[in-house]
Every structure is written in structure tokens, then in C-alpha cells.
Amino acid sequence: MQTQTWRPREYNQHAQFVSNFGVSVVELLDAQPGERILDLGCGEGALAEQLKEIGTEVIGVDSSPAMIEAARARGIDARVMSGDRLTFKGEFDAVFSNAALHWILNYEDVIQGVYASLKPGGRFVGEFGGAGIIKCIVNAMNEVLSDHPEFGKFVNPWFFPTAEVYAAALTREGFRVVSAETFPRPTPLANGVGTWLRVFADHVISGLRGDQATRFLEQVEELVRADLYTPECGWMADYVRLRFVATKP
Ligand code: BEZ
């Protein structure tokens, strides 16, 4: 499988809804001026910037060098670091994460690293893709790739757990789980499923030749059209979110 490459300009153009929805996760975090906050998977730093404006001392980490460069351009103290290899020890009042944890398959290492990064009494607040998210799109991708073995195999890069699985993992690591729940969030895709795939399934598309990529996108779009498109609402992705709050005793 190819790896996912992030292009900040394209992300800003087509995926602004991610940080727009993240504003309510920032509210849930309820950060206070002076707190030291880790933004895990900060991307291009839109939400880290909001946390900074509140008066917190925010550090952003992300595994994408391009995203970190974009976050630094906004004035964020941002570092290239993968969420499953955090190196901080007991220094944060809170770890915040929006729309990033589903990209890291070894979630237990993430939780361990977050726990180690927090001060006693610190909190871990986040939101990411929950069980069932983009089921239609994943099924269609699988179908097209199995019809075209020459396109390669679909290797799912995403971790979309149930609230129960994630809460149990947090508890095993020593967290006290305050809340963990999944909920549907139908998400408008202004530029259609093809554009969504180009941004979020780059790990599949980048392995295809130009003509193969075009056919792949057309065929996936055709397969999901009946479920995800209506003339009244346009394209709507079948998103499900998992939102949680946990504290380190
Ligand atoms: C997201 O960032 O919201 C996302 C990414 C990949 C699949 C589903 C959702």
C-alpha cells in the first residue's frame, strides 16, 4: 500500500469541514488560559490556532511534514511526530485530538503515549471516525478493486472502533473514561465523492496510473450514488464520529 500524502492547499480547499466540525471538540475541551495543551494530529493547525487564541500554550504534532510546515506558518509550535511515538513525559494539562486518531492503527501505543504525556489529573479529549463511518465508500472501493486486480488490493488504513472498544482500551491504560459515544454525522461533500477520495484515499489513488485513477473514481462514485447523492442535498458522506473524554487519575 502507498502511504497517505497530505497537501495543505488541497486540504484547505476541500476538507475545511474537518476543522469546522472540530470547533465543538475545542468547546468540549474547555481549555483555560495558561494550560499546556498537546494537539495530537494538528494538521495545518487551524484548531491549534484557536487554542492559542484562548491563551493556552499549545504544541502541535503531526506525522506529515507538509502539514507541520503549514501549522508553523500560522505561528504554532508544531513538530513532526507520529501519534504512536509520542516522547513527552507528564507535561500537558490536556491532550486534544480532532479527526486524526483513525489514521493510526496501533491505537494502544497512542493511548499509552498520551497517558505518559499528561500530568496527573490531565484530560484526553477527542473525536475521530467511529464504527460504521464511510461504510458505503469502503464497500465500493473494495468492490472496484476486486473487479480490477490490476489496480491492486485494498488495504484499509483506518481504525474506526466502537465506543466500547475505545473506552475499554482507555481504561486498560489507566484512564478514567468520563464519556465515549458514537453518533452519525452525515457530512456534505460540496465537490463530490471523487474529490473526497482524492484527498482522503490518496494512499489508494497514488498507486494507480492516471487512466486507472480516473476509472477507479468514476466507478466508486457510481456505486455509492444511490446511497449518498440526492438532488436536494447533493453528496452527503456517511460519517459516524466517536467522541470521548478521559482523565488521568
Ligand atoms: C476524516 O478525517 O474525517 C476521515 C478521514 C478518512 C476517512 C474518514 C474520515
pLDDT tens per residue across span 17-34: 888 889 999 999 999 999
Segments making up each domain of the chain, as ranges: 8-247
Closest among 112, 123, 117, 119 to 176, alpha carbons compared: 123
- Gyration radius of the chain over CA positions: 18
- Centre of ligand 1 to C-alpha 154, Å, is 16
Q: What is the 3-state secondary structure (H, E, C) of 183-203?
A: EECCEECCCHHHHHHHHHCHH
The closest residue, in CA terms, to atom 7 on ligand 1 is: 200
Ligand 1 atom nearest to CA at 100: 2
Instruction: Return d(Cα 229, Cα 139) in angstroms, integer.
Output: 16
Beta bridge partners, 237, equal 187
The arithmetic mean of pLDDT across residues 181-209, rounded, is 93
> Which of the four pLDDT bands, split at 50, 70 and 90, describes residue 1?
low
- Dihedral of alpha carbons 117, 120, 126, 128, sign: positive
- Centre of ligand 1 to C-alpha 77, Å, is 24
Per-residue pLDDT tens over the stretch 76-98: 999 999 999 999 999 999 999 99
pLDDT on residue 84: 98
Beta strands in 41-185, from DSSP E residues, in sequence order:
57-62, 77-80, 92-98, 118-129, 176-184
Per-residue pLDDT tens over the stretch 137-193: 999 999 999 999 999 888 888 999 999 999 999 999 999 999 999 999 999 999 999
- Centre of ligand 1 to C-alpha 34, Å, is 31
Instruction: Return d(Cα 237, Cα 227) in angstroms, integer.
Output: 9
- Can you give the pTM of this predicted structure? 0.95
- In percent, the amount of the chain with pLDDT more than 90 equals 85
Q: Is the CB of 128 under 6 A from ligand 1?
A: no
The yes/no answer on whether domain 8-247 falls in CATH 3.40.50.720 is: no
The arithmetic mean of pLDDT across residues 209-235, rounded, is 95
Per-residue pLDDT tens over the stretch 30-63: 999 999 999 999 999 999 999 999 999 999 999 9
Backbone angles phi, psi at 38, to 5 degrees: -100, 125
Answer for the pair 225, 117: CB distance below 8 angstroms, yes or no. Answer: no
The closest residue, in CA terms, to atom 9 on ligand 1 is: 129
Q: Which of 67, 101, 102 to mutate to test ligand 1, by most ligand atoms within 8 A of the CB atom?
A: 102
The closest residue, in CA terms, to atom 5 on ligand 1 is: 200
**Residue whose cell numbers read 485513477:** 213
Whether 199 has a pLDDT exceeding 80, the answer reads yes
Answer for the pair 182, 241: CB distance below 8 angstroms, yes or no. Answer: yes
Ligand 1 atom nearest to CA at 187: 3
Q: Is the CB of 240 under 6 A from ligand 1?
A: no
Instruction: Return d(Cα 66, Cα 53) in angstroms, integer.
Output: 23
